[in-house]
């Protein structure tokens, strides 16, 4: 009887291990300065589920078979220049956990910075989104990020909070024990177990997208632009940053006297939309699938992948020479019959020759 073969393997982690792998660049979580769509209430519910010991879902990674060399994810230096695993499903959960445990800010869908502040009441183990009343109440830890960011041991953290509570009034022995137990339990969330399914590097992006759709309860489909933007995070982050900076400025009016920006009352593009324009002009191609393969370093004739070929496409190819020029926004002109609006889109420069073969 033949043995059943699968294209994935199951790997178990604890949360502290996952956060460590993200920090050193071994797991490719895109830069924290990417638009984050979860509400604070949803992050609160994630922590509440973990605290209660409930399952919060598996993670789906894709092993990176592109070899060593290349650019780091994000703008900060990391020990691993190229991640060995890319996140396919679980990015919002891991971004939430990374932001809270490391005290990092995130950007909302309008590219505005915000701090995720989840509060915890040790008396009864309740989580809540922090507000002004909670911040004034000594019974609450207004931002649980402070617990891990302080670097204090569990013992010192518990002792400090009990002292804070005793300043409000005496505590019974039972109350002290309950508060200590709940704080220890919160502190130990960094040991929470996660299971990841890691897809083999031999699986191509279309199969990965299909796997994602089949197992994702929301049925959100990954497209070729998603994969190319992920590649940009890894090998040309400044290019992705340029796309996202343009999109961010298109949503926010510049300060009086500031330089003209991409702010526009009528069009607020997303990075994937600008990506399609850059690909069309830079590679003279309409299909993103072909460009994704070229950017991975694939020789379209032999089917072989090469790190040198990949770097050439990003560093010396015409895609890397594509540059954004921030237009002066939009111009309005009134015609004889009715108002007319002309919208100026970003202007690109690229070399004339397509790359990557036919």
Contacts of 131-140 with C-beta under 8 Å, sequence gap 24+, read 138/164, 138/165, 138/167, 138/168, 139/165, 139/168
Render each residue's pLDDT in the chain as its tens digit; 358 residues: 567 789 999 999 999 999 999 888 888 765 554 567 788 999 999 999 999 999 999 999 988 765 433 333 333 445 555 678 888 888 889 989 999 999 888 877 777 788 899 999 999 999 999 999 999 999 999 999 999 988 888 888 899 899 888 888 888 999 999 999 999 999 999 999 999 999 998 887 667 777 776 776 555 566 677 777 777 766 776 777 778 788 888 888 888 887 777 787 788 888 888 877 777 777 777 777 667 777 777 777 787 877 788 777 776 544 544 554 434 344 333 333 433 333 344 443 333 333 333 3
**Residue 195 forms beta bridges with which residues?**
12
Ordered by start, the domain boundaries in the chain are: 1-222, 236-349
Neighbour count for residue 314 (Cβ, 10 Å): 19
Q: What is the DSSP letter of 313?
A: I
Q: CA-to-CA distance for 172 and 170, rounded, in angstroms?
A: 7
Q: Distances from the Cα of 32 to the Cαs of 1, 56, 74, 89, 147, in angstroms?
A: 48, 21, 8, 16, 20
User: What's the CA dihedral at 241, 243, 246, 249 to 10 degrees?
Assistant: -60
Burial label for 125, CB within 10 Å (0-12, 13-18, 19+), is middle
Closest by CA position to 319, among listed 327, 311, 331, 307: 311
Closest by CA position to 119, among listed 97, 154, 145, 149: 145
Buried b (16+ CB within 10 A) or exposed e, 60-69: bbbbbebeee
Q: Tell whether pTM > 0.85.
A: no
């Amino acid at each position: 009887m033949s043995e059943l073969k699968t294209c994935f393997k199951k790997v178990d982690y604890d949360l502290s291990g996952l956060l460590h792998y993200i920090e050193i660049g071994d797991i490719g979580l895109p830069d924290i300065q990417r638009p984050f769509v979860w509400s604070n209430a949803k992050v609160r519910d994630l922590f509440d589920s973990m605290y209660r010991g409930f399952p919060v879902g598996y993670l789906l990674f894709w092993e990176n078979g592109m070899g060593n060399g290349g650019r780091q994810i994000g703008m900060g230096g990391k020990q691993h220049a190229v991640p060995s695993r890319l996140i396919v499903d679980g990015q919002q959960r891991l971004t939430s956990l990374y932001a809270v445990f490391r005290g990092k800010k995130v950007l909302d869908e309008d590219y505005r910075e915000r701090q995720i502040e989840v509060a915890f009441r040790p008396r009864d183990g309740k989580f809540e989104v922090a507000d002004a009343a909670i911040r004034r109440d000594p019974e609450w830890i207004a931002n649980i990020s402070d617990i891990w960011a302080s670097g204090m041991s569990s013992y010192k953290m518990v002792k400090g909070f009990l002292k804070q509570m005793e300043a409000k009034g005496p505590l019974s022995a039972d109350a002290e024990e309950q508060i200590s137990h709940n704080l220890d339990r919160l502190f130990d969330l960094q040991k929470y177990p996660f299971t990841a399914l890691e897809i083999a590097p031999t699986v191509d992006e279309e199969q990965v997208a299909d796997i994602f759709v089949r197992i994702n309860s929301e049925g959100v489909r990954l497209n070729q632009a998603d994969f190319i933007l992920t590649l940009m995070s890894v090998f040309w982050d400044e290019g992705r940053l340029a796309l996202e900076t343009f999109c961010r400025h298109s949503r926010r009016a510049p300060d009086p006297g500031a330089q003209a920006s991409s702010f526009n009352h009528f069009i607020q593009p997303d990075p994937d939309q600008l990506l399609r324009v850059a690909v069309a002009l830079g590679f003279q191609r309409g299909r993103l699938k072909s460009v994704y393969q070229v950017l991975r370093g694939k020789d379209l004739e032999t089917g072989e992948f090469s790190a040198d070929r990949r770097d050439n496409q990003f560093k010396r190819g015409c895609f890397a020479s594509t540059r954004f020029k921030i237009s002066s926004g939009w111009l309005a002109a009134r015609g004889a019959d009715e108002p007319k609006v002309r919208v100026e889109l970003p202007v690109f420069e690229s070399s004339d020759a397509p790359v990557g073969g036919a």
